[in-house]
Structure 1
Amino acid sequence: MIALKRCQSQVGKKTIHSMENSTNPENECITYSEKSEKNYDALNTLQLISGKWKILIMKSIAKSCPKRFGELRKDMDSMSQGTLTTQLRELEENGLICRKIYAEVPPKVEYKLSNLGITLLPIISELGNWWQDYSLCIKNK
């Protein structure tokens, strides 16, 4: 069994865990301590954008705003209409997108990112960057 040698952590400071009895003596893990062990802010944020399509929908709206339902449907060609509707409703309920309905026939509905949704774009971009780094790391193992 591999034992972890734990360094004393301080609030907001890095904690380094070095692996003892590891096959790779240079192997270490860096973590960040939080103010509280019950800090679920990051998990709650991920839950808001979780799901197969929400990030793709937000990126599509950000690319050319506002977006109509039909345009989103074309961008998400393998998604059913019902799934798109559900995902859009959840994003709207969570305050990440805004829906504007025009009183005309046929009905016209446009979607745009809310101010909160716009603030998530750099985070989504960083998640993508992290995935690229992770993929390279795993590929080179």
Structure 2
Amino acid sequence: MSMRLQVVMGEGEYGEIRAAAERRRMNVSEWVRIVLRDARERDARAKAPAVREGRPPYGEARTPFPGRVRIELDVKEDLLEAVRERYHLSSPRAAVEYALARAAVRPMSKDEALAMQGAGWEGNLDTLRSGDPGAAW
């Protein structure tokens, strides 16, 4: 037997819910049913004794250095030493930080870009730039 649920809310909140449903190509009632079902399942899992008792302490990670993350790495020693020697770095930590910063921030060099040549893309940039997207495919 189906039941009807009526919910009173402001226009703004309803608009947000409607937009969320449209993004998933659903109508509002379908989206609300899914969200309510998920909430019910989360609530049931939270009440389960095994989950409640063994729950890890979620929350903010507390480190002595704000904005930093503590991780454990398993890195080949020869690679680490090669980075330290090449860039004259004093410690393994400095080598890892340097390598991460270089990989995250530094733009690709010409040699690296050329090494990617033939990486699997078979398009034509001139055709893409012509403005006819159908011709590129």
Give the structure-2-normalised TM-score. Answer: 0.24
Give the structure-1-normalised TM-score. Answer: 0.24
For the pair shown, the structure with the greater C-alpha radius of gyration is: 2
